[in-house]
Amino acid sequence: MLRFLTAGESHGPCLLGIIEGLPAGLSLTAELINQDLRRRQGGYGRSARQSLERDQVEFLGGLAQGRTTGAPLALRLANKDWQSQRDQEQPPLTIPRPGHADLAGALKYGHTDLRLVAERASARETAMRVAVGAVAKALLATRGITVWSYVTAIGSIIASLPALPPADLHALAEQSPVRCPDPVATDQMKQQIDAARQAGDSLGGVFVVVATGVPAGLGSYVHWDRRLDGLLAQAVMSIPAIKGVEIGDGFAAARCRGTEAQDAILLPAPGSTAVAPFFRPTNHAGGIEGGVSNGQDIIVRAAMKPIPTTLTPQRSVDLATMTPATTRYIRSDVCAVPAASIVGEAMVAWVLAVALLGDGPTGS
Handedness of CA 235, 238, 239, 241 (dihedral sign): positive
The least confident of 78-87, 203-212, 224-233 is 78-87
User: pLDDT band at 363, cuts 50/70/90?
Assistant: very low
| Average pLDDT, rounded, for the chain | 92
Helix (H), strand (E), coil (C) string for 161-181? CCCCCHHHHHHHHHHCCCCCC
List beta partners, residue 205. Answer: 154, 304
Mean pLDDT, rounded, for 117-127: 94
Strands 63-64 and 67-68: antiparallel
- Per-residue confidence (pLDDT) for residue 362, from 0 to 100: 40
- Per-residue confidence (pLDDT) for residue 14, from 0 to 100: 95
Q: Give Cβ neighbours of residue 318 (< 8 Å, ≥ 6 apart).
A: 94, 95, 324, 325
- Per-residue confidence (pLDDT) for residue 90, from 0 to 100: 77
- Percent of the chain whose pLDDT exceeds 90: 83
- Per-residue confidence (pLDDT) for residue 53, from 0 to 100: 61
Distances (CA, A) of 122 to 241, 243, 282: 10, 16, 39
What is the Rg, in whole angstroms, of the alpha carbon atoms belonging to the chain? 22
- Per-residue confidence (pLDDT) for residue 352, from 0 to 100: 98
Q: Which helix (H) or strand (E) holds 60?
A: strand 57-61
SS3 content of the chain, % helix, strand, coil (to 5): 35, 20, 45
The least confident of 41-55, 173-187, 225-239 is 41-55
- Per-residue confidence (pLDDT) for residue 268, from 0 to 100: 85
Task: List, in sequence order, every beta strand (DSSP E) within 193-343.
Answer: 205-212, 242-247, 288-289, 292-293, 298-304, 315-318, 323-326
Q: Which pTM does this prediction carry?
A: 0.94
CA dist 59 and 190 (Å) reads 37
CA dist 194 and 184 (Å) reads 16
List beta partners, residue 77. Answer: 15, 57
Q: 136 pLDDT exceeds 60? A: yes
Amino acid at 123: A
Strands 73-78 and 14-20: antiparallel
Mean pLDDT, rounded, for 219-238: 97
List beta partners, residue 212. Answer: 146
- Per-residue confidence (pLDDT) for residue 364, from 0 to 100: 37
Q: 129 pLDDT exceeds 50? A: yes
Mean pLDDT, rounded, for 139-163: 96
Ramachandran category for residue 149: left, alpha or beta (phi over 0 → left; psi -120 to 50 → alpha) = beta
- Per-residue confidence (pLDDT) for residue 165, from 0 to 100: 86
Are the beta carbons of 317 and 107 closer than 8 angstroms?
Answer: no
Are the beta carbons of 217 and 356 closer than 8 angstroms?
Answer: no
Q: Which of 133, 142, 139, 153 is nearest to 39 (CA)?
A: 133
Q: Which helix (H) or strand (E) holds 193?
A: helix 183-198
Mean pLDDT, rounded, for 70-88: 81
CA dist 215 and 296 (Å) reads 8
Report CA dihedral (324, 335, 100, 341) to the nearest 10 degrees. 170
Are the beta carbons of 45 and 155 closer than 8 angstroms?
Answer: no
Domains of the chain: 90-248+285-358 (3.60.150.10)
CA dist 241 and 206 (Å) reads 11
- Per-residue confidence (pLDDT) for residue 1, from 0 to 100: 84
CA dist 281 and 266 (Å) reads 8
Q: What is the pLDDT of residues 244-303, one digit of tens each?
A: 999 999 999 999 999 999 999 999 888 776 667 888 999 999 999 999 999 999 999 999
Answer with the residue of higher pLDDT: 47 or 18: 18
Q: What is the pLDDT of residues 164-222, one digit of tens each?
A: 888 899 999 999 999 999 999 999 999 999 999 999 999 999 999 999 999 999 999 99
Are the beta carbons of 148 and 209 closer than 8 angstroms?
Answer: yes
